[in-house]
Structure 1
C-alpha cells in the first residue's frame, strides 16, 4: 500500500516538484528516494513511458518524446520496517500544446452600423480545465460599435498561462487583424458660426457645414431667394446683397441618417453700419410662457427720429433709443420681431430681426416592444418609442436604454422639413435579445436640445420602463464535475446539476438501473453509498426552449477501514476460541484426568516403535 501521510514523513522528492512539458518534446526529472543514509532496498519510479537511471537512492526519469496527455510518474520505496507499506510521491505533470491556429471574425459578417451590437468571435484550440487533450473552442465578446471604431483593427490572441514552471513568456498565438468599417450618421466637423451672421452688403459670404460620416455624406442647401444653391459642403456668395438676407439650411445626409444646420444671415447696408441690436441676440421660449427682449436702436447720440419694433403680438415700451418688447404668453409658433429706424441723414432704413425658437416639451413618451410577447434568446425585436406633440422636432433627440446603457439615438424622419409646430412621431430600434436581457428594464427618453439659449438642463421626458422576460434554454450554473467521481463506500454522494433558464427548468435523473426512485430535483443525494450504487448517472435539464444533459460517472471504492476492522475482529475471535479450548483441556487433564485436547493434538505428531519378528 502506497502512502503519503504522516506515517511516511521521509517521502520521495522529485526535482523539479512539478513539470510542464510540450507534447512531443523531451523532459526529465530526478527522484531522491529518501534522505542520505536511509535503509531501503526496494525503490523505483513507475511510469508508462520513459527510461530510468539509478545512482544510489536517486532515480532519473527521462522521456525523449512526450506522447502521453495524462501521466503521473510515481516514485516509491518499501519501508524495511514494514514491508507491506510503501512510501511514494507523484510528480504532477502538465502536458500542453499551443493553439494550432487562432481565427477572428465579427458577427453578423457585414459592415458595422454605429450604435448596434456585434459579436466578436475568437476560435482557438485550447486545453480545458478538466480536459487534458487538445480541444477547439469559440470565445465571444459583445460590443456596441461607435464611429470611432471605423478603420480600427480588431483581433484576438490566445495565451497558455502555465504558471512559473511553464515557458516564459507564455505561448501566445495571435489571430489575423480585421479592419472595421463602421457606417455612421454625419457629424458636423466645422464650428458653428454666431447666430445671426451679420455681414455688410458687398462682402463675400461663406457658409460651411463640412461633416464626417460613413458612407461620405452628401450636401443639400435650401434658401428661398437663390434658385441654384450649392451641392457641396461650402456655400459661397462673392458679393452679398440685401436680397441674399435670410435663412440658409444645409442638409447633410447619408444612408444612415441626416442632420441639418441653419444659418441666419442679416445683411447690413454700407450706409447702415450702426444696425439695431437685440439683447439677447436670440430667444428660446416655451409655448404659452412669457418672454421679452430689448432693442438698442442705435448708438447713443445717433440722429434718428422714426424707430420701432414690428411684431404681431406683445407690448412695447420705449426709453430713449431703447425699446423693450414684452410678451405675457407666447401664442405664435413662427415669429420674427423686427427692430428698425430711419436714418434722417442718409434717408436709409436700417433693421434687425430677432431669431426666436418656440418649443414645446413632449406631452407623452410611450415605450413598447414588437412583437408584444415574451422574448426568445437570439431573436430580433423592435423597440418602439412614441413621442407625442413636441416642437420643434428638428431639435428632438430620442435615446433607447437597456438599464442605464444607451442603445442608440435614431433621428426624426421629419427633421429635414424644419417643422416649427408640434408633431408626433414613432422612433424604432432593432435589437437581438440575449439571456442577459431577462429581467432588465428597457425604456426611452425624449430630449429637446435647444442650444445655449435654451433651458438648462434640456427638457427630458422619460417613458415607462418595461421589464424584459427572455425565454432561454437551460445553462448549467454549477461547475462541471470530473469525468470520474471516485468515492469510498458508505460516504454520502451529492450530484448537482443546478441550472438557470426561463421558464425555470425541470430535472430528470437517469441513475443506474438498480436505483428505483431517482430524484426529480437539481440535486441527487445518497446518504451512504454502496457498490450497488456505482455507475453512470445522467441529469436531464429541460424547458420549452431546449435541454442539456450532464453525466456523472461514479466509481465506489471499498472502505479499507471496515476491512481492517473485520480482520481484527476475526483474529480476536479466533484467539478467544483457542484460549477457551486450551483452558477447558487444561482443566479436565489436571482435575478429572479427562480427555486432553493437546494430547490429542500431539497424538497426530507422535511416532511409536512397533517390534517386528526377525
Structure 2
C-alpha cells in the first residue's frame, strides 16, 4: 500500500525586487480523475511576480509528481502541493478520484420466473458488482430505447469498490408483452473524468411475457362495496371509454369529480365501481360521473364500465391521493456544536407523514446551491409515511456559517398542482472549526515609528479566532510597539487555536529619511585616486540618491584629484521620506613650485649691492629658505611668500652658491644661483668683447643685403616695341 499523503514541492524566490503575490488561490492544481490501474501524474503550477528588467511581471513555475500504477494505492488517496518562498509555506490540496468500472452488470426478476400477469406488480433487479466510487454511480433503467428511471447514490461517501442492487417496480399491461428491459451502470466523473463517461450495460435483457388478466363485471347495477360479478362474455377492452379529466391528482380530504363517457353508438348503460362514490348501473346513458365530496381512501381505484351488445368493457381511473408533510426539519446526526474541518458528518432531513412516497423528491441545498436530490421512485407505497434522508458532508473552512436546508417536494406530474407542493425546513447554520492559516507578503516596509507589526497586512484565518504572536530570532516581541530603523530583519508571525497552528516569515523593512555621514574636511594629495562618494556615506530606506554640487553647479566628483578640484562641495541626498545635505571642504595638496626664477649664475662687481629673490607656491603653503655662506654684509627679508637675500657692498668673500629651498608636507624643491664677485676692469674687457662681436654681426648683415639687391628681377616687352631693360626692385 502506498502512502496516502503525497507531496509536490515548489521552491522559488521572487527575484529580490518584486513583492510576491502568492496565495493558495494563485496555485493551480487540476482535479485528478484516474482509473485504478492507470499511472498518475500531478502538475502543480504557481503564479508569482518576478522582475524582468525594470518591471515586475507575472510568471509561473510548475512541477509534476509521477505516482506510478494505481492498482495498490489507497482508494482515499490524498495529495497536496507545498509552495515555499522566502521561508514562507503555502499548501493546497489536490482532489483525486480513483474509479473502477463494474466487474459485471446483470438484470433479473426478483423472486419470480416465467410469464407475468397483467396488472400484477413485479420487481426487476440490477446486480452491479465491484464498482467505485458509488457516489458517482448512475444506474439507468430502459424499456426498449425509452429511459424510464435513473437511480443515483450521491448521498453516499464510499470510495472503495462495492456492490449495489437497485430495483425497478413494474406493473405490466398487455401492451408490455414482448417488451425489453435493461439497466446500465454509468460512472459520472465530471468534466475531469473520461468522456463519454464509462458505462456497462447489463449482459442480459429481459423479454417480458404478459398474460392477460380476466376481468369480472357486475351482473346488476352496484353501489359502493358491491361484490357481485360476472365473467365478461367478450374480450375486455376500453377503447370506447374516456375520462374527463383523464387522470386525477387530489389532496387527501379534497373533493373529486370525474366524467366517464363512451363513444359506443348503442350503449345499454354505464356505471362506476368504487369503494367510495360508486354509481349504480344507469341504463341508456352515454356518460356517468364519479363524485366524492371528501376523498380519504389512499388506495382507491375507481372503475367505469358500460354494457353493450359486445360485452361490458371497463376502465380504471388513475387516482393519486397526496398529502404534504406535517413537518420538515433538518439536524446533524449524533452531533451537537461546532464541526471540525475535514471531519465527516451526516445531516438528517426528518420528513413526517407524506404520501405518496414514490412521488417524493427531497432536495438538499447549501445556501441557494442545489447539492443533492433524493427520490423514492422505486417504492410503491401510497399511504403516508416518514422518511429520513441524510446528507453526508465533510466541511471545510469555506463552509463556516454555511446554511443547509432540505425541501420535500411532491412531483405529481403535469396533472398535479403547479408548482409542485413543497415544504422547506428551517435553515441549519453550521459552525466549522479549522486550524489557522496565514497568508502574508514576503516583505513589508513603512516609516520608522509608524511601523507596527499589528498593522502588517497578513490574512490570518482560523476558527476559533487564533491568537497571534510575533517573534524575532526565536524571541517574542511586542507587536504593538512602533519599530525603529535598527529593528529591520526577519520576523515570524504565529497563529494558534485549539485546532492547530500556522507560521509565516516576513522581511520587515523599517524606512527612514536620508542621513549623511561625512567629515567636514578631507585632505587629498594631487593625482591621488580617492572616491569621496565612498568616504561620504549616506544611509536611508528606501535607498536614497545623492548628488554633488560645486559653486552651485552639479558635478561628478573626480576619482583622480588635481589642484583645480580644490574647494567646497555640497552633498544632497533624497528619498521618499526626506532630504539631507552636508558641506565638505576638499584640500588638494601638491608639492611646492618656485615662481621667481633667478639666473643660475650671477656676476657681481665688488662693492656693489645685489638681491636674490625666491618665491614658491604649493598646498599646504611651502616654507621658503635660503642656504648660503654666512657673511656680515648679507641680510634675508620676507615679504608675503617671497624671501630675499640682500648683499650690501659685495666682497670677494660673498662668492659662492646660494640655494633656495621650498618645503611642505608633500615634497621639496630647490633652486641654485652661483654668485661671482669680480673687479670693474674685468667687466670692461668683457664689455669691449661684447661690443666687437656686435659690430661684426652688423657688418655681416650689410654685406648680405647688398648682395641680394644685385640679383634683382626683369620684364620683357613684345617685338617692335622699345625695349627698356631695367632691374626691378
TM-score bracket, shorter-length normalisation: 0.5 to 0.7
Q: Give the structure 2 partner of residue 503 of structure 1.
A: 464
Give the direction of change, closer, same or farther, for the CA distance of 1:109–1:448 in structure 2 (3 Å limit).
farther
Given that residues 218 and 232 in structure 1 are in contact (C-alpha distance below 8 angstroms), is that contact kept between their aligned partners in structure 2?
no
Which TM-score applies when normalising by structure 2? 0.47
Paired residues of 1:537 and 1:554 also in contact (CA < 8 A) = yes
* 2:295 aligned counterpart, secondary structure: coil
Q: Say whether the 8 Å CA contact 1:487–1:556 is kept in structure 2.
A: yes
Structure 1 position 241, deviation (Å):
4.6
Task: Please give the alpha-carbon distance, in whole angstroms, between the structure 1 residues aligned to 2:215 and 2:362.
Answer: 38
Aligned to 1:187: 140
Structure 2 counterpart of 1:534, from 488, 511, 517: 488
- Structure 1 residue 493, shift from structure 2 partner: 6.8
1:280 maps to which residue? 245
Q: Deviations over 1:568-595 (max 9, x none)?
A: 59975989xxxxxxxxxxxxxxxxxxxx
Decide which of 356, 376, 392 is 2:340's aligned counterpart: 376
1:522-561 alignment, distance < 5 Å: 525-526=482-483, 529-531=484-486, 533-554=487-508, 560-561=514-515
Shift of 1:140: 2.8
Alignment-derived partner of residue 478 in structure 2: 518
Residue 449 to residue 562, structure 1, CA distance change in 2 (3 Å): same
1:419-467 Cα distance to aligned partner (Å, 9 max, x none): 2111112111211111110111111111111222222221111111011
| Paired positions, count | 411
Q: Deviations over 1:283-304 (max 9, x none)?
A: 11110111111111x3253141
TM-score, reference length from structure 1: 0.54
SS of alignment partner, residue 209 of structure 2: strand
Q: Where does residue 294 of structure 1 map in the other structure?
A: 259
Is 1:334 aligned to 2:303, yes or no?
Answer: no
Cα distance in 2 between the residues matched to 1:538 and 1:488: 20
Contact 1:489 1:559 survives alignment (8 Å): no
Query: What is the aligned counterpart of 1:481 among 434, 437, 442?
Result: 442
Change (3 A) 1:437 1:461: same
CA distance in 2, matches of 1:448, 1:109: 43
CA distance 1:543–1:383, change in 2 (3 Å): same
Match of 2:289 among 311, 320, 324: 324
Cα 1:192–1:282 change in 2 (3 A) is farther
Distance 1:497 1:105 in 2: 41
Alpha-carbon shift at residue 380 of structure 1 (Å): 0.3
Once the two structures are superposed, what CA deviation does each residue of 1:261-295 show, in whole Å capped at 9, x if it has no partner? xxxxxx99447565433222321111011111111
1:233 Cα deviation from its structure 2 partner = 4.2
For residue 459 of structure 1, what is the aligned residue in structure 2? 421
Q: How much is the aligned-residue C-alpha RMSD, in angstroms? A: 5.2
Deviations 1:498-555 (A, max 9, x none): 3111111221111369x996116xxx753xx323x13332211111111111222446
- Deviation of 1:559 after TM superposition, in Å, equals 6.1
* Distance of 1:449 and 1:400 partners within structure 2: 15
Task: Map 1:168-187 to 2 at 5 A.
Answer: 183-187=136-140
Deviation of the 1:416 alpha carbon:
5.1
Q: 2:208 aligns with which of 222, 231, 235?
A: 235
TM-fit CA distance, 1:340 = 1.6
Structure 1 389/217 Cα, relative in aligned 2: closer, same or farther at 3 Å?
Answer: farther
Give the aligned partner of residue 623 of structure 2. Answer: 605
8 Å contact from structure 1 (residues 410, 428) kept in 2: no
SS at match of 2:517: helix
Q: Is 2:367 aligned against 1:394?
A: no
Structure 1 partner of 2:316: 353
What is the rounded CA distance, in whole Å, between the counterparts of 2:276 and 2:54 in structure 1? Answer: 97
Answer whether contact 1:275 1:352 (CA < 8 A) is retained: no
Mapped partners of 1:362, 1:96: distance in 2: 55
Whole-Å separation in 2 of the counterparts to 1:437 and 1:268: 69
The one-character-per-residue Cα deviations of 1:173-215 (angstroms, maximum 9, x if unpaired) are: xxxxxx988742433333389x99875xxx8824455333359
The separation in 2 between residues aligned to 1:90 and 1:192, in whole angstroms, is 64
Please list every run of 5 or more consecutive structure 1 residues that lacks an aligned counterpart in the other structure: 1-70, 74-88, 112-117, 152-178, 220-230, 246-266, 576-600
Cα 1:516–1:470 change in 2 (3 A) is closer
Q: Report the CA distance shift for 1:359/1:410 in structure 2 as closer, same or farther (over 3 A).
A: same
Distance 1:197 1:562 in 2: 100
Contact 1:287 1:330 in 2 (8 A): yes
CA distance in 2: counterparts of 1:327 and 1:409, whole angstroms: 35
Q: 1:563 to 1:489 in 2, by over 3 A?
A: farther
Distance between the aligned counterparts of 2:233 and 2:359, measured in 1? 29
State the distance in 1 between where 2:55 and 2:270 align.
Answer: 103
The CA deviation at 1:94 is: 11
Shift of 1:607: 3.1
